[in-house]
Structure 1
């Protein structure tokens, strides 16, 4: 919600609070009003928007093609220069690079945070490994492709030398090639990405709330109201403070999820082995969902 508010508050001169209220209303229509068509339409548009975003980023790269070599030289010098080497010897630069790299990577793809398994588990696939591979592909696309394209656009456009931060920095980068239209293109992309992300996060929270409080009829309603308040809060909080909140809670999620990953890793390896064995004899491995994986694992390893 913070990024959506930032993308519209600059060019459209809308107050972040007003944008937050609109977001709360749109999300509320889906989760309380049952207007699923909004989320359905948005979910269909997002893949095309992601493809269009990459195409637009490539246009920015082409229009600044003469600076591409200098950009990569800057990236390499910034990573392996004398100053960076000295900082690496002291350990501080490595620590900071690792910290922000992991934090921003987690924020972009949720890998290791434990938020997306409930969504992947709801998918109708013939074998769970298929969905696992799909999830891995999503991490690659969002972080390596989309985020790299955004970073290249920012570096090539010269927008990084100003005082802009957050989504407004990306808008300035795209406007270097598309003019004022660039602001609106990024704002539209951010709205679609952000809106569907909010709906997905609401779904994750509801699944976990129902699991933790199966006998509490009002637990989900309380969760929904609390989550909507957070959407409004996120739209008006300064972007620096928002990053601090995201880093803190992201680290906590990873901490708990890694423990679960270690304990469940043997079942993952078991499913992968089953997939690979079937793949040798057929093109479409099948998984027996009627049989509990824990019991199946134990029966195979007695």
Structure 2
């Protein structure tokens, strides 16, 4: 039977639209997403780019630490999450077109899905299949560090809405508390830092300027993967005192590449001595 080029392309398109179809020697089966057009935000500990839905499923189920994953068909992006499904709250799920959210506990222990049946690995390990069909546990090449978490904003690229008296944006991430950033009196002054890659952010600290500290008020701190796509991490009403060290921490980690500070009630100046972002890389 002959199939036209158009019919062939249509068939191929339909196959690609199946977001989580897996093939095994026992036949063909489908992974049904627990949620569509949402992602679990703040618990991704590892990401993979340009991989198939099937490969994303395998990346997760082979890792004891992975309890669920987010997958985007358009970007072929796979994000492994380390939050156990029993603790998932609806507030943790963010609407995100094109993503599916999948919990793997439905499939663990099923030999049609789980290549690690009978070979449980420890947390921080991944099971790998050998050519002789045996399975071994090896250390995952990316794990949450055990050492002290670092200031991931230190020395990173940054910017601000305007600059007063040569007090530039980079002074907020130079590691010194005797320098500061200072904007002009803008309607909504802001400052941002590019962390360079995506991090699981544990907390954000702001060290206020040594004089006129009361001008730090109505402060929004936002986190996101793009400057035009950010969500609020914390809000501070204020006003702050001179040299005050403000610490903002949420009950769960938030993943993001950019951190932005902005004053919502203006016109006003924005000036602080230092911004510290504590986290670990999502790799």
Which TM-score band applies after superposition, normalised by the shorter structure? under 0.3
TM-score (norm 1): 0.23
Bigger helix share: 1
Which structure is higher in strand share? 2
- What TM-score comes out, normalization by structure 2 length? 0.24
Q: Which has the greater radius of gyration?
A: 2
